[in-house]
């Protein structure tokens, strides 16, 4: 049995981006991982906090037709949790890595099958923090849009950038 299987590899301006499957003998299961250079961006072993974030972010939102934006896609755990709420009318997901969005569209990541089939969910390539700085212009298809919830599930911050990239 192979311990690692590289599903996709992409050279990006931020570094080598790898989607891989790995057998973990301790967890006794195959894990799906996203790596950028030497950094782990996401692992299917640790998804509890992402799922909880998605649920908690909109749990107390009033109303029946919620418009939500999520910064960060990864393996799609937060996004999937948000979409479990039937009150979500629309969900825009902004991710800095077009390759990760492509993996979802190509169904290389299991959640991609569900996310790309849900008409409420739109995956957009872009800089989430730059969108916030532009007074909330996170959906270029709908300038000035207001949101019931803004959920941040990004492995970097405005001061700690992926691979030290300048923003």
pLDDT tens digits along 38-80: 888 888 888 899 999 999 999 999 999 999 999 999 999 999 9
Domain coordinates of the chain in residue numbers?
4-43, 48-163
Cα–Cα distance for residue pair 119/52, rounded to 1 Å: 23
Cα–Cα distance for residue pair 128/140, rounded to 1 Å: 12
Residue 167 has pLDDT above 60, yes or no: no
Average pLDDT (126-130) is 85
Average pLDDT (116-127) is 95
Q: Determine how β-strand 39-43 pairs with β-strand 88-95.
A: unpaired
Average pLDDT (14-36) is 90
Q: What is the pLDDT of residue 165?
A: 45
Best CATH choice for the domain 48-163 from the list 2.40.40.20, 1.10.3720.10, 3.40.50.720, 3.40.50.150:
3.40.50.150
- Least trusted range by pLDDT, from 7-21, 33-47, 95-109: 33-47
The confidence band for 110, taking pLDDT boundaries of 50, 70 and 90, is very high
pLDDT tens digits along 135-160: 566 776 777 778 899 999 886 555 65
Angle between helices 98-105 and 110-117 (to 10 degrees): 80
pLDDT tens digits along 76-98: 999 999 999 999 999 999 999 99
Provide the whole-model pTM: 0.86
Q: Look at 156 and 18; give whichever has higher pLDDT.
A: 18
Q: What is the pLDDT of residue 25?
A: 82
Q: SS3 sequence, 22-65? A: EEECCCCEEEEEEEECCEEEEECCCCHHHHHHHHHHHHCCCCCC
């Amino acid at each position: 049995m192979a311990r690692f299987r590289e599903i996709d590899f992409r050279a990006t301006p931020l570094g080598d981006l790898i989607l891989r499957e790995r057998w973990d003998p301790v967890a006794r299961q195959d894990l799906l991982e996203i790596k950028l250079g030497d950094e782990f961006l996401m692992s299917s072993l640790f998804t509890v906090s992402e799922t909880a974030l998605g649920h908690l972010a909109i749990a107390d939102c009033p109303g029946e037709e919620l418009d939500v934006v999520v910064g960060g896609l990864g393996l799609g755990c937060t996004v999937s949790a948000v979409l479990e709420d039937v009150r979500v009318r629309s969900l825009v997901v902004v991710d800095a890595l077009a390759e990760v969005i492509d993996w979802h569209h190509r169904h290389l990541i299991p959640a991609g099958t569900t996310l790309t089939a849900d008409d409420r969910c739109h995956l957009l390539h872009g800089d989430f923090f730059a969108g916030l700085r532009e007074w909330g212009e996170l959906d270029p298809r709908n300038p000035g849009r207001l949101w019931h919830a803004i959920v941040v599930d990004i492995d970097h911050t405005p001061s700690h950038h992926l691979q030290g990239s300048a923003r």
